[in-house]
């Protein structure tokens, strides 16, 4: 669905539909977040595959973002800066025809040491989520969630 050309006015009769779409997005994002957390409680992240392309995504991510440290808190300002957006857009476009909902919005923990929470969660695109969480899982950074659930 298109909002029309830049600067076009929004038809107020259709505004409710956008509000409904926003609510549907929020529900889907929260469901995705809760499902991922439940999976991490049942299986160590280091044993989890998020997609059929995890290996390719991981290698591509390391090549395009060699400075990224999955143990550290994500700098959201850097990620969403003009340069950051361009780098991520280029990365994500490689998966346009390969990963369903590659550009769908989702929730991402800013730091792997913490649960999802208001201050610990950022809005990200699905491919950002996959790239970062695959890197975290490969390093065993999410295994504590399983261990905590089974303590």
DSSP per residue over 28-87, as a string? HHHHHHHHHHHHHHHS-GGG--SSTTHHHHHHHHHHH-TT--TTSPP-HHHHTSHHHHHH
Structure tokens at 77: 């300002």
Could you give the maximum distance between any two Cα atoms of the chain, in Å? 56
Q: What does DSSP assign to residue 12? A: G
**Sequence-separated (6 or more) residues with CB below 8 Å from residue 98:** 53
CA 69 and chain centroid, separation: 16
Predicted pLDDT at 19: 66
Run means of pLDDT, 10 residues per run, the chain, 151 residues: 42 58 76 93 97 97 97 95 96 95 92 93 94 98 97 91
Q: What pTM did the predictor assign? A: 0.84
Report the C-alpha gap between 15 and 47 in whole angstroms.
44
Structure tokens at 45: 């992240």
Helix 126-138, helix 54-64: angle, nearest 10: 90
Structure tokens at 13: 């009769």
């Amino acid at each position: 669905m298109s909002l029309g050309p830049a600067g076009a006015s929004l038809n107020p009769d259709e505004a409710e539909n956008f509000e409904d779409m926003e609510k549907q997005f929020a529900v889907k994002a929260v469901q995705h977040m809760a499902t991922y957390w439940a999976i991490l409680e049942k299986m160590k992240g280091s044993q989890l595959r998020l997609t059929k392309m995890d290996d390719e995504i991981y290698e591509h991510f390391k090549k395009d973002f060699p400075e990224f440290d999955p143990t550290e808190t994500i700098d959201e300002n850097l990620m969403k800066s003009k340069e950051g957006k361009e780098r991520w857009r280029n990365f994500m476009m490689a998966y346009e025809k390969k990963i369903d909902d590659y550009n769908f919005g989702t929730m991402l923990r800013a730091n792997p040491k913490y649960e999802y929470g208001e201050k610990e969660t950022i809005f990200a695109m699905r491919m950002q989520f996959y790239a970062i969480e695959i890197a975290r899982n490969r390093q065993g950074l999410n295994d504590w969630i399983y261990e905590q659930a089974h303590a």
